[in-house]
Chains A and B, each alone.
Chain A
Amino acid sequence: MSGKTLRVVHYINQFFGQQGGEEKAGIQFLVKDGAVGSAVALQKILGEKAEIVATLICGDNYFAENTDKASEEGARLAAQYKPDLFFAGPAFGAGRYGLACGALCKAVESHLRIPAVTAMSDENPGVDLYSRDAYIVRTERTTLKMAESLNAMVKLAFKLLSKDVTSKLVSQEALGRPSEDGYFPRGVVRNEFVEKSAAERGVDMLLARLRGEEVQSEVPSPDDRNPVPAPAISKPLHLCEIALVSDGGLVPKDNPHGLRGRGNTVWAAYEIDKFFPQRFSSDDYAVAHTGYFSLHVLQNPNRLVPFEAMRELAQKGLVKLHPFFYSTSGNATAQKTCREMGLDIARSLKEKGGVDGVILTST
């Protein structure tokens, strides 16, 4: 690898690949020779050391809806160019893009056995799903730090490349801690020699805690994301009242509660009979959610929330429909805020009484 220019393939989404915005999020893979769109920025940083031989572009929706198939396809397309390095994104806070970047890096690393690096912010779903299987550099949510993020990605990639990559174990042994290189921990456990014994370190930690200082655990606490499912509805269905909730941002035209299209923290309850009368008009609604192409939902809100279907089932006496629809917008909203809104909505449902189950629809 000494002397020769390294070959790089860069994956970017439809927006950064200059194909369009959300309305093009359904496009399938495109391959362009050389650096195209925001890949040009990566090429600038790579300079003479490496050449982007191909830019892979794909729509965020296509990837998110067909993750396994798209990952394999993307890896195959990248392989055709015999790259030495693979980059994806950075995705920053964009969830579907982060998913695609993480999935693709996992597939490329596994099939091509080359360093594959991406970057996104810590709340991006791509982190929880793929941080164990891919090198994901930590970024902030905003896209303003593009150059910085690309720089960090390139630095990590070259570090990975410079070690003996014939042995995965060896290359990982040679890396420092994730925090040193700015990427999310992959769950690799490695022995380290330290001066103090565990007993001394334990006492140090306790004393620090008693002094009110920040203490860094040596063992990360496991995430409990496997909750026990809530009991199913056991009453006969026709006696059950079901509530409709959605985070797709469907609101009355003037958005009276001020739901924000991005980073929203507000939810509102709308009386279904008034909000969605038997004869509705698309002009009466707005979608306060900039994270997806909303035309189809505006044309027919039933595509997001099954008002008509549930109303008909209720009229036939097969189920009871809770009279209020709970609406919020979940684009780039922090997990903590989503949880608070969920607990709040649940509290409201309990206060109203009589609700047995919830259908929650998202994009």
Chain B
Amino acid sequence: MAAAIEESGFPVAHITAVPSVSTMIGVTRVLRGASVTNVLGNEHLSAEEEKNLIHRYAARALEILQTELEQKQIFTLSGGV
């Protein structure tokens, strides 16, 4: 789905805990998420800490949308690949 939306012209930041499937399908901007059942957060953290983590993912996704790419890339929260 992400690949089809991107094909239509929109840059897409796909956040998923299983990035290999995404890149295999042809999504180019993939951000590795935390876990399958809680992709942006962490239920072991306090509410405040988890809120910060979710914010970091949102901010990273926005950064990735502004990143020019030559080919597909898997990004992580902390930066780089």
Residues of A whose CB lies within 8 Å of any CB of B are 22, 25-26, 61, 64-65, 67, 95-96, 99, 125, 128-129, 224-234, 237, 240, 242-243, 245, 247-248, 292-297, 299-300, 302-304, 306, 308-310, 312-313, 319, 328, 330, 335, 338-343, 345-347, 349-350, 355-363
Q: Judging by beta carbons under 8 Å apart, are B26 and A226 in contact?
A: yes
Question: Contact between B24 and A313 (Cβ–Cβ < 8 Å)?
Answer: no
Q: Nearest Cβ distance between residue B3 and chain A, in whole angstroms? A: 7
B residues in contact with A346, CB < 8 Å:
4-5, 7-10
What are 30 pairs between A and B in contact, CB < 8 Å?
Answer: A22-B37, A65-B18, A96-B18, A96-B36, A224-B26, A227-B6, A228-B28, A228-B71, A229-B29, A229-B69, A230-B10, A230-B28, A245-B1, A247-B1, A293-B37, A296-B41, A297-B37, A302-B40, A302-B51, A303-B50, A306-B58, A309-B54, A330-B1, A338-B4, A346-B8, A355-B10, A359-B65, A360-B15, A362-B15, A363-B16
Among A65, A67, A328, A358, chain B packs the most CB atoms within 10 A around the CB of A358
B67 contacts the other chain (CB 8 A): yes
The answer to whether residues A306 and B40 also contact, given A339-B1, A358-B13 and a CB cut-off of 8 A, is yes
Residues of chain A lying within 8 A (CB to CB) of residue B6: 227, 229-230
Q: Is B48 an interface residue (CB 8 A)?
A: no
Q: How far is the CA of A350 from the CA of B18 in the complex (A)?
A: 29
Q: Which residue of B lies closest to A363 (CB)?
A: B36
Q: Could you give, for residues 50-69 of chain B, a 1 whenever the CB lies within 8 Å of some chain A CB and a 0 otherwise? A: 11001101110110011111
B81 to chain A, nearest CB (A): 14
Interfacial chain B residues near A99, Cβ < 8 Å = 18, 20-21
Q: How far is it, in angstroms, between the C-alpha of A125 and the C-alpha of B16 when the chains are bound?
A: 14
In the assembled complex, the Cα of A135 lies from the Cα of B12 at a distance in Å of 34
| B2 part of interface (Cβ distance < 8 Å) | yes
Which of chain B's residues have a CB closer than 8 A to the CB of A355?
Answer: 10
Q: Which residues of A contact B59 (CB under 8 A)?
A: 309, 313
The residue among A300, A339, A357 with the most chain B CB atoms within 10 A of its own CB is A357
CA distance A343 to B38 in the complex (A): 27
B5 touches A245 (CB 8 A): yes
How far is the CB of A58 from the nearest CB of chain B, in Å?
14
Looking at the assembled complex, report how far the CB atom of A224 sits from the nearest CB atom of chain B, in whole angstroms. Answer: 8
Known A-B contacts A65-B36, A302-B40, A355-B10; the reply to A227 vs B65 at CB < 8 A is no
CA A330 to CA B14, docked complex, whole Å: 14
Q: Would B1 and A341 count as touching, CB distance under 8 A?
A: yes
Given A229-B11, A231-B11, decide whether A342 and B58 contact each other with a Cβ distance below 8 A: no
The answer to whether B12 touches A362 (Cβ under 8 A) is: no
Are B1 and A230 interface neighbours, CB within 8 A? no
B57 proximity list for chain A (CB < 8 A): 306, 309
A357: contacting residue among B8, B35, B65, CB under 8 A: B65
Is A328 a contact of B18 with CB atoms below 8 Å?
Answer: no
Q: A302-B54, A303-B43, A357-B11 are in contact. List 19 more A-B contacts (CB 8 A).
A: A61-B37, A96-B18, A99-B21, A226-B72, A230-B7, A231-B11, A231-B68, A232-B68, A237-B66, A296-B43, A306-B58, A342-B1, A342-B7, A346-B8, A350-B9, A361-B40, A362-B22, A362-B33, A362-B39
Report B25 CB to chain A, min CB distance, Å: 7
Residues of chain B within 8 A of A232, CB atoms compared: 11, 65-69
* Smallest beta-carbon distance B26→chain A, Å: 5
Closest B residue to A358 using CB positions: B12
A242 pairs with B36, CB closer than 8 A: no
CA distance A349 to B25 in the complex (A): 22
Contacting residues, chain A, for B5 (C-beta < 8 A): 245, 342-343, 345-346, 349, 358, 360
Q: Is B17 an interface residue (CB 8 A)?
A: yes
In the A-B complex, the 10 residue pairs with the smallest Cβ-Cβ separation, listed nearest first, are A342-B4, A346-B8, A342-B1, A229-B28, A309-B58, A303-B41, A229-B69, A306-B58, A362-B16, A357-B65
* Most chain A beta carbons < 10 A, residue from B13, B29, B38, B51: B38
Pairwise interchain contact B17-A64, C-beta atoms closer than 8 A: yes
